[in-house]
Amino acid sequence: MSFSKVLVANRGEIAWRVMRTAKAMGYRTVAVYSDADRDAPHVAFADEVVRIGPSPVGESYLSIDRILEAAHKSGADAVHPGYGFLSENEAFAAACEKAGLAFIGPPPSAIAAMGNKAAAKRRMIDAGVPCVPGYQGADQGDANLEKEARKIGLPVMVKAAAGGGGRGMRLVERDADLVEAIRTARTEAESAFGSGELILEKAVVDARHVEIQVFADAHGNVIHLGERDCSVQRRHQKVIEEAPSPAVDADLRRRMGAAAVAAARAIGYRGAGTVEFLLGADEAFYFLEMNTRLQVEHPVTEAITGQDLVAWQLKVAAGEKLPLTQEQFAFNGHAIEVRLYAEDAYAGFLPQTGRIDFWRPATGAGVRIDHGIRVGLTISPFYDPMIAKVIAHGGTREEARTRLVQALRETVVLGPVTNRHFLIRLLEHPEFAAGKATTAFLGKHEFPAPAISDAHWQLAAALLWQQSAERYPVTLRGWRNSNPEPTPVRLAVGNTERLLQVTGPEKIEPVPFHIDGDDVIVDLDALTIRFTDKTYAPPATAAAGSDGKLRAPMDGKIVAINVAAGDTVTKGQTLIVLEAMKIQHQLKAALDAKVESVAVKEGQQVSNRAILVTMAADAAAH
């Protein structure tokens, strides 16, 4: 069907990215926003904007009624769902069609066919697509799942049948962990997807995660656009994606592509989709799931094919045939993408929130950065912590890899902690550089927090020392100091403090930094550190958590409280479960103690560092 105005039912970088192509093709665009996104760049970019509710996703981006109301209010006649949120929601696609809106995605029946992992797997087995051995039956009792898991044999994956993005998923390698894995996967699945149904799959050890991009039109044409390797993952969420896969040759690509096309044909697919496989070392591959939407990592496919996949989506939704046939496809070079997250990779990938104080995306040959941020924007706890995608394309894999490393070094975010330094270490690791990384990569290699160099400490002290003299720009251009007497400055990073003597160096090399009250954020050698001036504060005496107070590590919502006043707890025991950025975090006791008070209730939204539980510190000796 024809349409002229496209509403993008999403936010951030993907909303902005979709609207760029839609505008270039002559469509008018409509952005929707929650209160948290009122000042976001995608909102400013759109031709029209409609507020759809408060910040929680259930009252905004996941509300079908509010999205449809926004379409009606703006006069939009097409809806692009982006990825995440309602993009794979059968009811949403059906509601759009019922409202006379072109849904820029597959038909509701195709979404339904692949929306439940158990049903999808049964359908793929019937279609002759290779599948991982497992259990996807109707008996969902914990006892039966335990029995079936032991029948399959460990290691086994416990997965949410309705899920995706690594939520509701647990790898079980020891029998002693099985019961807890089933319980926590079900709880997280119910919270994230509204369904606690689980499936079990034999874990393919040291495999690669390889996915095939497929495209289908309404005229019976189905093709694949090659593969992407997404093996480097944390918490079953992708960290690095590349195309083509270092492990796939032309013959394997042909066989995997044929299986992916068969999967798409089996469900009457239309539009962009991705069929995900596990690839063993023996080149045996197994169907995992089909994502009935555009993928986060679609830019690497665009880079090596020279095609705009969003443009293809719009053309297919308008009833056109696919722009190319399978035989017309050619691949050019190699592309690698990393996901830049607001998270502390050296503290269990803990999501971070806060204001963006400085943003400098890299530029250069073969570099592309998709983002949805700007200086002054706040990364909130309500949404996924991904803030940008950094992509590099080159004639060879090595050229793409080195360009991406350099792009990350030049891309600076000051404010919330990000995983940028961690990403550079992954890309520079010899195993990844050699193209040998599998899904076991992050599990078998340690990436401890780097030591903060003396140069970092001295630079931070010098910057804080001089801030009282004048107001400096973000990038220091050099200064001279005529004060011969050293000035003591005491700085802290977490629980570590150092007393430094600042005499004023002749010159400080230009570096990105930001001063925020008593804090200074310094970016040096691709490592961004936030220092706090403690010169006039009393010295720290207790380690974090050892004072008997359990604090929130980030903004979030309390979803479970496992203790009450008077309870005796042991070190490592889970006291509170906090949900932030769609992930549940188990907050544990730092010592053996007795609970004095619980300061929160289930369902309560709490801020970073808020005290949740107070324990009697003197009980630690018992």
Nearest to 207 by CA among 250, 157, 162: 157
The predicted pLDDT at position 582 comes to 64
Per annotation, catalytic residue among 123, 293, 339, 397: 293
Which of 182-191, 232-241, 302-311, 599-608 tops mean pLDDT? 302-311
- DSSP, residue by residue, 250-283: HHHHHHHHHHHHHHHHHTT--EEEEEEEEE-TTS
> 58 has which bridge partners?
none
Separation of alpha carbons 293 and 297, rounded Å: 12
Separation of alpha carbons 238 and 439, rounded Å: 10
- Would you say residue 581 has pLDDT above 70? no
- Would you say residue 211 has pLDDT above 90? yes
Mean pLDDT on 70-78: 98
Summary mean pLDDT of the chain: 91
The predicted pLDDT at position 479 comes to 43
Domain over 5-104 is classified CATH 3.40.50.20: yes
Please write the tens of the pLDDT for every residue from 528-561: 999 999 887 765 443 345 678 898 887 888 999 9
The predicted pLDDT at position 215 comes to 98
377 is written with which tokens?
């924007």
359 is written with which tokens?
């943003």
Mean pLDDT on 473-495: 66
Mean pLDDT on 491-504: 88
Name the CATH superfamily, with its identifier, for domain 333-442. ATP-grasp fold, B domain (3.30.470.20)
The predicted pLDDT at position 236 comes to 81
Mean pLDDT on 488-510: 82
The predicted pLDDT at position 465 comes to 83
51-55, 103-107, 165-169, 210-214, range with the lowest pLDDT: 165-169
Query: CA 379 → CA 59, 66, 167, 376, 551, distances in Å?
Result: 18, 23, 21, 10, 20
Mean pLDDT on 421-435: 98
Give the largest CA-CA distance in the chain: 81
- Would you say residue 471 has pLDDT above 60? no
What is the H or E stretch that residue 309 is in? helix 309-317
Mean pLDDT on 569-584: 85
The predicted pLDDT at position 402 comes to 98
Give 218's DSSP letter.
Answer: T
Options 3.10.20.90, 3.40.50.150, 3.40.50.10800, 3.30.470.20; CATH of 111-132+208-321? 3.30.470.20
Mean pLDDT on 410-435: 97
Nearest to 359 by CA among 349, 350, 371: 371
Q: How many residues does the chain have?
A: 622
In 385-511, which residue ranges form alpha helices assigned H by DSSP? 397-410, 420-428, 430-433, 441-444, 454-467
Give yes or no for a contact between 44 and 372, defined as CB atoms under 8 angstroms apart. no
The predicted pLDDT at position 467 comes to 75
Does 111-132+208-321 match 333-442 in CATH topology? yes
**What proportion of the chain, given as a percentage, has pLDDT over 90?**
76
Confidence of residue 504 (pLDDT cuts 50, 70, 90): low
Task: Give the rounded distance of the alpha carbon of 334 from its chain centre.
Answer: 23
CB atoms within 10 A of CB 65: 9
Query: CA 291 → CA 61, 112, 263, 276, 311, distances in Å?
Result: 19, 11, 11, 8, 19
Whether residue 66 lies in the annotated active site: no
Confidence of residue 116 (pLDDT cuts 50, 70, 90): confident
Give yes or no for a contact between 578 and 587, defined as CB atoms under 8 angstroms apart. yes
Quickly name the fold that domain 134-202 has. Dna Ligase; domain 1 (3.30.1490)
Quickly name the fold that domain 549-621 has. OB fold (Dihydrolipoamide Acetyltransferase, E2P) (2.40.50)
- Would you say residue 622 has pLDDT above 50? no
Q: Which amino acid is at 530?
A: R
Mean pLDDT on 59-69: 97
CB atoms within 10 A of CB 467: 15
> 106 has which bridge partners?
none
The predicted pLDDT at position 539 comes to 52
The predicted pLDDT at position 617 comes to 66
Is the N-terminal amide bond of 484 cis, ω within 30° of 0? no
Give yes or no for a contact between 344 and 328, defined as CB atoms under 8 angstroms apart. no
Please write the tens of the pLDDT for every residue from 296-313: 999 999 999 999 999 999
369 is written with which tokens?
């950065």
Give yes or no for a contact between 531 and 492, defined as CB atoms under 8 angstroms apart. yes
- Kindly report the backbone phi and psi dihedral angles of residue 486, in degrees, each rounded to the nearest multiple of 5, phi listed first: -70, 145
Domain boundaries, the chain: 5-104, 111-132+208-321, 134-202, 333-442, 454-533, 549-621
- Would you say residue 411 has pLDDT above 80? yes
137 is written with which tokens?
């039956």
Separation of alpha carbons 272 and 209, rounded Å: 19
Please write the tens of the pLDDT for every residue from 17-47: 999 999 999 999 999 999 999 999 999 999 9
Q: Is 182 helix (H, G, I), strand (E, B) or coil?
A: helix
How many contiguous H segments (helices) and E segments (strands) does the chain have? 16, 36
The predicted pLDDT at position 608 comes to 80
Separation of alpha carbons 492 and 450, rounded Å: 16
